[in-house]
Structure 1
Amino acid sequence: MISIIIPVYNQAKKLSLTLASIARQSLSDWEVIVVNDGSSDNPEAVFADFCAQIKIDNRFIFLSQENQGAAAARNRGYQEARGEYLFFCDADADLQPDALEIMLQALVDNPAASYAYPSFFWGKKLFKVGPFNAARLQAGPYIHTMALIRRSDFPVNGWDESLRKFQDWDLWLTMMEAGKQGVWIDKVLFKITPGGSISSWLPSFAYKLLPFLPAVKKYRRAMAIIKKKHVLA
């Protein structure tokens, strides 16, 4: 079974689209755990309305906690998860109907891989991503949070809750240092709506083109924190 963990913080309007894209998956062996990280826009009502529309599918679970950040919300979901595979999904994502099936098959076909990650759209921009490359991963983030992970290879301590940005980059580096690597799927399997992600994901092209923006300065400071943690040049 795949445990789909969705941290949500003030993204109630987008949540129903994400849930609907999961409900129509070609693969049916999954559970969804939505973790409300102290939202003020009542995502529980959106969740309840959605479940009512699909006749209260018992594969959908809703949890709430005080605001602690994306990493803590993901860890909360992970603690409740029952699946042998983990999929940390953003609350503003729209998955292709065969996304889970394709990612699972990639792991079946590549037993040495610990996770499978696809290409995706961020708004209208296509991210082809590319094959797993250790040097490229050490140089900067290029693999999105939304990858299908073998639970047996997921770090015992989960996500680093001390980090405010680049939690995904930190996770992939931590797994790589433990001898784990991913396999790339050369297909677009989801689309992200910019501006709403709980982890404030920012593509690298943005800071290269717009170095003066406050967000970019924070981006660079956050990169320095990750590089120091993992002893990267």
Structure 2
Amino acid sequence: MISIIIPVYNQAKKLIKTLESINSQSWRDYEVIIVNDGSRDKVEEIFTAYFKDLQTENSYLFINQKNLGAPAARNRGAREAKGDFLFFCDADATLEPTALEELVAALQTNPEASYAYPSFHWGRKLFKVGPFDQEKLMSGPSIHTMALIRRSDFPEAGWDESIKKFQDWDLWLTMLANGKYGVWVDKVLFRVTPGGVYSSWLPSFAYKLLPFLPVVKKYQAALKVIKEKHALDQIAQ
């Protein structure tokens, strides 16, 4: 079974589209765990109304917690998860109907891989991501959050709740240090629709690929934190 964990913070309207895409999955063996990270909108009310009319045999769990950040919300969901696979899904992403099926197939075909990640669309821009490359991963963010992870290979400590940015990069580096790596699915399996000037979901490595965004400068300090934690500068030398 796949445990789909969705951290939510003030994204009530977007969440419903995400849930609809999950309910349309060809792979039916899953549970959904939604962690409301102290939202100020009516996310619980909107979810309750949606779930009331939802015809499904799948388990749905809605958890409220104070605002502790996405890593803490993901960890809370992981603690409640019952599946053999973990899928951390963002609340403003919509999945292609075969997304879960394709990711499971990739891990079945590659039993030595700990997680499977696909290409995706961010607005009109295609992010192909590419095959797993250890050196590329160590040089900068290159794999997004929405990968299917074997529960048995997920770090016992979970997501580092002290990391404010690039939490996905930090997780993959931690797993790499434990001898775990991923496999790329060369298909677009989800889509993010940006809102305003740039999406609040903007993937970590987009800050490197889209340098024209003004928010990029604010992330330089975050990069330094990750590099120091994993001693990446020392390794490069």
Give the TM-score taking structure 1 as reference length.
0.94
Q: How many residues align?
A: 228
Tell me the distance in 1 between the aligned counterparts of 2:27 and 2:227.
38
Alignment map for 1:41-190 (pairs within 5 Å): 41-55=41-55, 57-190=57-190
Unmatched runs of 5 consecutive residues or more in structure 1: none
Q: Residues 202 and 144 from structure 1, CA distance in 2 versus in 1: closer, same or farther, beyond 3 angstroms?
A: same
Partner of 2:37: 37
**C-alpha contact 1:25 1:99 (8 A) present in aligned 2:** yes
CA distance in 2, matches of 1:193, 1:144: 16
**Partner amino acid for 2:221?**
R
| Contact 2:144-2:203 within 8 A present in 1 as well | no
Is 1:196 matched up with 2:197?
Answer: no
Give the secondary-structure state (helix, strand or coil) at the position aligned to 1:164: coil
Whether 2:220 is the aligned partner of 1:231: answer no
The separation in 1 between residues aligned to 2:188 and 2:30, in whole angstroms, is: 21
Contact 1:94 1:190 in 2 (8 A): yes
Q: Is the 8 A contact 1:33 1:62 kept in 2?
A: yes
SS at 1:25's partner residue? Answer: coil
Is the partner of 1:73 in helix, strand or coil? helix
Asked if the contact 1:103/1:148 (under 8 Å) is kept, the reply is yes
Tell me the amino acid that sits aligned with residue 143 of structure 2.
Answer: I
* Other structure's SS at 1:179 match: coil
Residue ranges of structure 2 left out of the alignment (5+ in a row): none
What TM-score do you get using the length of structure 2 for normalisation? 0.93
Tell me, yes or no, if the aligned pair for 2:18 and 2:91 is still in contact at 8 Å.
yes
Partner of 1:206: 210
